[in-house]
Amino acid sequence: MSEKKDLKIIFTTHTYYPHKDGVSVVNDYLTRGLCKKGYDVEIITHREEGLEDLETYNGIKIHRIYNDEHKQEYIDYIKKMLCPNDVLINICTQTPTTDLLLAKLSDLQCKKKILYVHGIWHFPWNAVNKVSIHNICSKVYNNMKWKIYYYNNRNSWKQYDKVVQLHEYDEGNLFFQEKYGIESEIMNNAVDDAFFIKGNDKQLLNEMGIPKDYIISVANYGKAKNQEMVLRAYLKSNSTEALVFVGHDEVGYVNRLIEIQKEYFGNLKDKRVIYLQDIDREKIAILVRNARLFVFGSLGEKFPVVICEAMAAKVPYISTDVGIVSKLPGGVIVNTIEDMSEAINIVCFNHDYAVELGNAGGVYAMKNLRIQDKVNQLETIITSN
């Protein structure tokens, strides 16, 4: 234990508690897992109004010090914190908490430097990029911007002792192999144990007003997560299950969804849509593991944790073709509202097929998506020579 306490692990990240996005969820279970093993774990992240600059949460010290107006202060803070026996883990590329350090890596005195990549810019074109002049210009600009970024930092990536990627087929992993000859460590995202178990949840579901049979979609409300596609596909389908949305709504997107429902008012006799907001993780696990189907309409992902959670719960999923989801078992990949609507019909009206999909996802999740396994893997990366 004393050797572990002598080794401080410092994470830099753009997102951490109390945020609930996918990267924050991964940061949370990895840091808590390492802390429980006896390591001294600290987080350096963005300063935010309403949050303390220094806070200890679950035994982890959080330094909220990054500010766009004081970038040098952030660099100096990192240098001051690091000791020769420490390990520095930079979370994500294309984010200032990592980017500001890239030119300074050789000056950072610590035992090991690790880059943990949660995907990179999606360079290939898709249909959405071509729907308007604005989208075309935006795509051209951003492709050029990020190509220059990765080229200019080509020597910095090689200064890391280890680079971690989400999946062997993830764009980031393939890009780093092709452009820099870097063979990354592969660490899939993982799922809280609560999603793997089946409990007696009937009373809680009743208290929440959730019917026996329902389809679920978990994602923060907004255009990027594209709940509109899920809603329209459900309303066009023959499914009589309720549709339950779960997420945080900062922009009033739920109101947009309610307006869409009104367009289908005459066809809603057998339909019911429930909008839940700001539900804690324990209840989300209960909602997911009791659902008949998980539906996901996001426009852009890398390795979505919510899909992993559905797999762990042996709930079949329907998803847009984002990130590496098409490489995962247990679901159906779709590209249009019509495809999604038809897939809902197929899965909901074919019990054996739904069970087959759910079991396939569950087997994969049990083998590849357990949190403790990922904590152990990261510990090995940290402590190996």
Domain ranges of the chain: 1-190+370-383, 193-369
- Measured CA to CA, the distance from residue 78 to residue 118 in angstroms comes to 22
What burial class does residue 5 get, using C-beta atoms within 10 Å of its C-beta: 0-12 exposed, 13-18 middle, 19+ buried?
A: exposed
Query: Are 227 and 235 a contacting pair, CB within 8 Å?
Result: no
- Measured CA to CA, the distance from residue 253 to residue 221 in angstroms comes to 6
Q: Which CATH class name applies to 1-190+370-383?
A: alpha beta
Q: Give the Å distances, CA to CA, from 294 to 219, 245, 352, 362.
A: 11, 10, 16, 14
Q: Is 249 helix (H, G, I), strand (E, B) or coil?
A: coil
Query: Are 366 and 185 a contacting pair, CB within 8 Å?
Result: no
Query: Are 165 and 184 a contacting pair, CB within 8 Å?
Result: yes
Per-residue pLDDT at 266? 64
Nearest to 288 by CA among 216, 232, 353: 216
Per-residue pLDDT at 82? 97
Give the tokens for residue 297: 């309409």
Per-residue pLDDT at 267? 63
The DSSP line for 65-101 is EE-TT-HHHHHHHHHHH--TT-EEEEE-SSSHHHHHH
Per-residue pLDDT at 99? 98
- Measured CA to CA, the distance from residue 220 to residue 319 in angstroms comes to 16
Torsions phi, psi for 370 (to 5 deg): -90, 135
Query: Are 273 and 259 a contacting pair, CB within 8 Å?
Result: no
Give the tokens for residue 32: 């808590």
Give the tokens for residue 372: 């403790």
- Measured CA to CA, the distance from residue 319 to residue 213 in angstroms comes to 20
Query: Are 250 and 280 a contacting pair, CB within 8 Å?
Result: no
Q: Which CATH class name applies to 193-369?
A: alpha beta
Per-residue pLDDT at 270? 81
Residue type, 232: R
Query: Are 88 and 110 a contacting pair, CB within 8 Å?
Result: yes
Q: What is the pLDDT along the chain (385 residues), one digit of tens a residue?
A: 555 667 899 999 999 999 988 899 999 999 999 999 999 999 999 999 999 999 999 999 999 999 999 999 999 999 999 999 999 999 999 999 999 999 999 999 999 999 999 999 999 998 889 989 999 999 999 999 999 999 999 999 999 999 999 999 999 999 999 999 999 999 999 999 999 998 889 999 999 999 999 999 999 999 999 999 999 999 999 999 999 999 999 999 999 999 999 888 666 778 999 999 999 989 999 999 999 999 999 999 999 999 999 999 999 999 999 999 999 999 999 999 999 999 999 999 999 999 999 999 999 999 999 999 999 999 999 999 7
Nearest to 231 by CA among 181, 296, 291, 282: 296
